[in-house]
Amino acid sequence: MKGLSLLQPWCWLMTEPSTHGVPYKPIENRKWHLPSGMRNVEFAVCASKGTKRSEYNAAEEFAMARGVLVPPVTQIALGVVLGTVRAVECLCPTYREPEAALLLGKLIRRLDLTTMDLDWWMDGQHGHVWRDVRKLTTPIPIKGALGFFALPPEIEAAIREQLPPLSTESR
């Protein structure tokens, strides 16, 4: 299994279930396209070991503009695996161009994305659409890395031990 590190509070937003049972943020923004070998493959979602206050505040502001309050930085997990997920699609920045409107419309319908979901997709970014998020009951300490990285076998085993079954509400 591979892992992907995210800064907080982005990791919390991607793994914490909302009142509807699905995570608040269904789209992860990256400067790079989703590698084809990672499409529909389950991977671990890791919270980075550190976060800069200015970055945390900017993410907090972005979430608040979408009606989501994130916990204070002192109450959020760092340097741990929080859950697993599958990336099912990558929305390319060019899909926002007028000539790609038909393609984007088809993807939105196929992926059952709402306007609220698309609000999390940032301009100029590749939007990795996540589904089947499974939050671990106990976060597992890990040293992350940039991009997708191979998990040590003992970390993968610890993750698999506590993976909850997929919820019927998973998107």
Task: Please report whether residue 102 resides in a domain.
Answer: yes
Residue 171 belongs to some domain of the structure: no
Q: How far apart are CA 92 and CA 83, in angstroms?
A: 25
Q: Residue 58 in 3-state DSSP? A: helix
Q: Is residue 51 part of a domain?
A: yes
Please give the single-letter amino acid code of residue 163: L
- Strands lying side by side in the sheet with 27-30: 27-30, 126-141, 80-91, 42-47, 2-6, 148-150
CB < 8 Å & 24+ apart, contacts of 33-37:
33/90, 33/92, 33/126, 34/87, 34/89, 34/90, 34/126, 34/128, 35/148
Indicate the helix (H) or strand (E) that contains 26.
none
CA dihedral sign, ordered 120, 11, 137, 64: negative
User: pTM value?
Assistant: 0.88
Beta-sheet pairing, 42-47 with 2-6: parallel
Mapped onto helix, strand or coil, the DSSP state of residue 128 is strand
Buried-state track 70-83, b at ≥16 Cβ within 10 A, e below 16: beeeeebebbbbbb
What percent of the chain is modeled with pLDDT above 90?
Answer: 75
**The total number of structural domains that make up the chain:** 1
Domain membership flag for residue 125: yes
**CATH label of the domain that carries residue 14:** 2.30.130.30
Q: What is the pLDDT of residue 159?
A: 96
Residue 38: per-residue pLDDT? 93
Q: Give 107's contacts (C-beta < 8 A, 6+ positions apart).
A: 89, 91, 95, 113
> 61-97, pLDDT tens digit by residue?
999 999 899 999 999 999 999 999 999 999 999 998 9
Phi, psi of 126 (to 5 degrees): -85, 120
DSSP 22: S
In a domain, 170, yes or no: no
- Is 82 within the bounds of a domain? yes
pLDDT digits (tens, 9 = 90+) for 100-150: 989 999 999 999 998 889 999 999 999 999 999 999 999 999 988 888 999
110 within some domain: yes
Residue 169 lies in a domain: no
The parent domain of residue 72 ranges over 2-162
- For residue range 49-60, what is the model confidence (pLDDT) as tens digits? 988 999 999 999
